[in-house]
Structure 1
């Protein structure tokens, strides 16, 4: 169950980076709404990480959480913000995904 909470927390981390990027692109009330979403996603992400680390090893949980956030943020950058999807970028994202899976496999919980 805590692995699921950790994954959801990682997705909220992606959410707060998306909101941060969108808030930067907008002005006025729309910008404040994006920044409100940023704060909400930030609290949810951190809260779920905190809950997951009650039973999962801290180092593994944090690495997986940040890895999900990093991979998701790069994908949001590519698909939403039209950042380049070069071969090397995709190669290193693939190695990061493999590392996240590896940490899950070798975890004792």
Structure 2
């Protein structure tokens, strides 16, 4: 169950970084809404990370959480913000995914 919470926490990390990207592009009330989304996503992400670390090793949980956030944020950047998707960028994203999967496999 805590692995599921950790994955959801990582997805909310993607949410708060996406909100930051959108807030940077806007002004006024719309920016305020994106900043509000940032704080909501940040809070949920941290609470779920905290809950997951109650039974998972801290180092593993943090590495997986940041890995999910990094991979997800890069994918959101490529898909929604039209960031480059060159070979090396995708290669290292795949190696990061393999590392996350490896941590899951070797954790008790």
Q: Same fold (TM over 0.5)?
A: yes
Tell me the secondary structure at the aligned position of residue 56 of structure 2: coil
Give the length in aligned residue pairs: 108
**Runs of 4+, deviation exceeding 6 Å:** none
CA-to-aligned-CA distance 1:53-102 (integer Å, 9 cap, x gap): 00000000000000000000000110111000000000000000000000
TM-fit CA distance, 1:34: 0.2
> Gaps spanning 5+ residues in structure 1: where?
none
Residue of structure 2 in register with 1:4 after alignment: 4
Counterpart-to-counterpart distance in 1, 2:14 and 2:57:
22
Counterpart-to-counterpart distance in 1, 2:31 and 2:81:
16
Residue of structure 2 in register with 1:106 after alignment: 106
Counterpart-to-counterpart distance in 2, 1:80 and 1:36:
20
- Normalising by the residue count of structure 2, what TM-score does the alignment of the two structures yield? 0.99
Residue of structure 1 in register with 2:16 after alignment: 16
- Normalising by the residue count of structure 1, what TM-score does the alignment of the two structures yield? 0.98
CA RMSD of aligned residues (A): 0.3
> Gaps spanning 5+ residues in structure 2: where?
none
Counterpart-to-counterpart distance in 2, 1:49 and 1:99:
19
